[in-house]
Structure 1
Amino acid sequence: MSGLGYDGESVSDAVLAVSELVANAIEHAVGPYELRLHRTALDVICEVVDNDPRIPEIPPFALGALFPPVEGDRGGDLEALCALLSERGRGLDIVHELTGGAWGFRRLLGTKAAWIALPLPASGEDWFGD
């Protein structure tokens, strides 16, 4: 993805978000599973497809609820993220935070896709580097 102009932090965030979607599919849906990438004019869309057409209940997201300040002089940081990651049932919260809310689900024929959208970096080049 660095060839597309994404920086290391963006790639790491995308990998973690997709990992959460894959883990959710494996834990809550039936396979086979498929990972798909699509490019639009503005985004790269990554989808995790499973064979369960049910869309999960989307939890309400509250600003600031994901990474609350820790005691002392520090705010929400790596320690807060590690605490969040150690709890079960927070996968969609993590996806929401890492993607800035650019994610969701869509139904397909007898299946569903969980997706994230990664805005293309403003590099002045097209996707193929021409």
Structure 2
Amino acid sequence: MSDNNFYSIDKLVEFGMGITIANQMASSMNQSLNQMEIPGAGKAMPSSIETVYYAVMNDTQMGPYSITELSRLITDKKIVKETYVWKPGMKQWDLVENIPEVLRLIALTPPPIPNP
């Protein structure tokens, strides 16, 4: 076999080493790109920050409540579709039926257990 043949041992070893080095470079570049911050692209909100809600119950502002606490109040029928709710970012108080993420909680709340 000639040394110029692609299938010669030297060429195959050289080709294998080239592939290995290319894979290592690609892996290193991907890791660097994943850690890179792009100015102006913004970051996702950390999941530890939870939206808080306030509700008007018995003509009194109550809260702040987490979504879990709000769900409990809905289950206990203390908050209904006609309850006024506010969260940071809203211009004014609004009825639960006009706030999709809270109205969804009411729709997902099971009805009372029937009495036999």
Q: Which TM class, normalised by the smaller chain length?
A: under 0.3
TM-score (normalised: structure 1) = 0.24
TM-score (norm 2): 0.25
Give the structure with the higher percent helix.
Answer: 2
Asked which structure has the greater CA Rg, the reply is 2
Which structure exhibits the higher relative contact order, with contacts defined as CA atoms closer than 8 Å and separated by 6 or more residues? 1
Structure 1 or 2: larger strand share?
A: 1
